[in-house]
Amino acid sequence: MNQKQLAGEKAADYIEDGMTVGLGTGSTVFYTIQKVGEAVENGLRIKGVSTSASTTKLAESLGIPLVSIDEVDQIDLTIDGADEVDPKLNGIKGGGGALLFEKVVANASSKVIWVVDPAKKVESLGKFPLPVEVIPFGAQRLFRYFEKQGLSPVIRNKENAPYVTDSGHYIIDLHLEKIREPEQLAAWLDSLTGVVEHGLFLNGADLIVVGEADGPEIIEKY
């Protein structure tokens, strides 16, 4: 069993009968969703809220009942991946392009668990490029603005065209190397017209499950 699978499957243990569960996106939470599918087949009753088209497709293939985010008042628990996590349980997310829906679902959740492999644990955020989701109109203008600010932006591409998110937006990845003041950066990005969302998830998780070789490590917010 690989480290991602260890983390993903362990997180499924936190799901209880009758819960509304946010289902994240990515290669580690893939194993969580598979485990949830097995539990549903064996009688677990939950409602899932998906964070992406790919997760919806996977959950439906496994028989997990899904509801829209707009059909629920509260999500009991969301399990998702992360691209980087610091000691304060701040994270960078959005490598898979689902950051907007993931943040909407996380903000509606009573508890958030991230599942990661050990390589995702860092002392400070920023080595992983920070995704910034922007509307297509004016995207090049924002790109040039980020360039002038020295943020080393790259418009994410797929098959020689701009990558398009599930909600029809583009992503500009900022190659920052180190983020010294994530709260200040998040507030600044939030203030920019044309920016829909960014991948800084501050105070984003209540608990992290790390797939260590000798078994899952649990890190709780202190």
Binding region for substrate:
25-28, 80-83, 93-96, 120
Residue ranges in the chain assigned as alpha helix (H): 3-11, 29-41, 53-61, 99-107, 139-148, 182-190
Extract the tokens encoding 124.
Answer: 């400070």
Pick out the residues of the known binding site: 25-28, 80-83, 93-96, 120
The catalytic position among 9, 102, 133, 197 is 102
Catalytic residue list contains 181: no
The identity of residue 164, as a single letter, is V
Q: Read off the amino acid at residue 204.
A: G
Spatial separation of the C-alpha atoms in residues 203 and 39, rounded to whole Å: 30
**Which amino acids are annotated catalytic?**
102
